[in-house]
Structure 1
Amino acid sequence: METRSIQPPIAQQIFAVREFNRFYTAKLGLLRRKHLDGAFALTEARILYEVSANPKVTASLLQETLELDAGYLSRLLAGLIRRKLLRRVASKTDAREKPLVLTATGEKAVARLNQQSSEQIHDLLGKLSTADRDALLASLANIRSLLEGQRKPPVRIVRLSKVDDAALALLHEYYEAVHVVQRDKLGSVQKLIDAPASGMWLAYLGDEAVGCVALRKLASVSRASECKRLYVKPSARGNHIADLLLDALEAFARSQGIEWIYLDSYDDLKAAIAIYEKRGYEPCERYNDNPQATLFMRKYLGA
């Protein structure tokens, strides 16, 4: 095998990165045979986490996300299915795909893994001062940004406290794109932002606002809010922005004691419907009088 000649400055940088790799893999216990000294190898635990975070995720999307060899991933999935931790379900949008969901046993296993992982990181962070923790998190964000490359500026999700021009422009683009009849007025958008268990989020790619989503408290259903106006500009798609917006929306809803998220859509919005299905939203009965809606879905967030 032909070896490349590496210039001294780069060689020193390679050594520094490799040295850090050796440090953090040992520090986090990643070299142990079983992750967190439990029942799973690290890759198995990561697969279970991804399916938990994205119900009905497909094997092909898992392969892309985790950057795994297809054959290796297939063997791991087969083993987890054999152990009754995962199961495949029928896809309503693509008969060729068999999305993955956790079984009841799998959900319990993920809950244990999450608890163990949180305790491990808590112990690490507990040894640091508040300033050191902030510095550590900033460094992690900087590392991720650098390794993802300058072509992909970091995505920021911002919860609005006041309607601005960027929000209004995105809403108008959304209305035109999906031919919305019942459109929000400026005052009603601000009321939504101010209302309990409600809000609006914008996604920024670099300095450009490229996506939005809104959450509105449902008066007709106890402990429930409604997901509205999920939209990502075509030029920004492919950066998982819709998922990041929904992550922020769902996390906020949980913090407000919301147990159910409802939404309405219509059959032509197949890409959006696929995102909702992947995240665990399921069909439900009509809950509003929106004349354009043909599909109604909801997701249980937990008590």
Structure 2
Amino acid sequence: MKKAIEQIRSFNRFYTAHLGLLNEHILNGPYSLAEARILFEIGLHQPISSQELGSMLGLDKGYLSKIVKMFNNDGIITRTPSLHDSRIHLISLTIQGANLLHELQGRSDQQIEAFLEKLSPDETGMLVNSMITVENLLSANYSNLVLSQQVAYREGLKPGDVGYLIYLHGVLYARESGYSQEFEGYVVKTFYEFLEHYNTQKDKIWLATYNQQIIGSIAILSKAKNEAQLRWFLVHPIFRRTGVGKHLLTTALTHCREQQFNNVYLLTTDVQQKAIAMYKKAGFMPTESVQMEQWGKTLREERYDLKLQNQ
């Protein structure tokens, strides 16, 4: 925790100095950073009341009132009574205020463009994605549900996907289930065998991504006797209990029904109780259980089947 606090303080100092936020006037305009921020929010949410503005920005009522009065005297805002409550005055920009805001936004865009010109497209993408994550994690209404709303889903594999999926399996199963590195070798082997015979007409894999990074996966592999195997069902811990896993599992089983497979099966271990609960809820039934020593643990390898021919 101490290291995290020190890093955040360091970033805050770097950020304010790098963007010139310590200057008396922001973007060479007539107003300070705090005043310009209020002006930006008025332009974005107008018409807006002082109460709404103060709540949004977390500003003291007296301090905000002083700035609103200054804006009014400078002729950049107007205050009109609300049609629903005459005690409340709504704030909007005047033409002068809108022109000033447009000018400040133009200067801001030029400043940001100058920063980005120093970066490659990949570096720009990394910066923007990091900023999105920072904003999400520090927002007042943050929850993992907020993050899940920005999850994208895609079908198929791109170069590098399998390597990252192997990494996720190795890291998460070691951390959460105590599996040895032998398990990562097993995952490497299964993906190698999969890629040797990968047929996009018969085999399907779906990925969930956040900021273009894989955070979930599931696959359906076509087998003999009109069976299918469900494999590599994984969701990053941050995105669990958000509907991401349910979406992936529903997508996979919908595909199986559309392809009219007779049966879908999966292999798991008794360590994966949370995943097993999801499988059972979807209709899978246990059909085999064998105790074994593998991946540094004594565990039971279990098979679950879902009959589809009568569904």
Length-normalised TM-score, structure 1: 0.47
Larger radius of gyration: 2
| Higher normalized contact order (CA 8 Å, seq sep 6+, divided by chain length) | 1
TM-score norm. by structure 2 comes to 0.46
More strand as a share of residues: 2
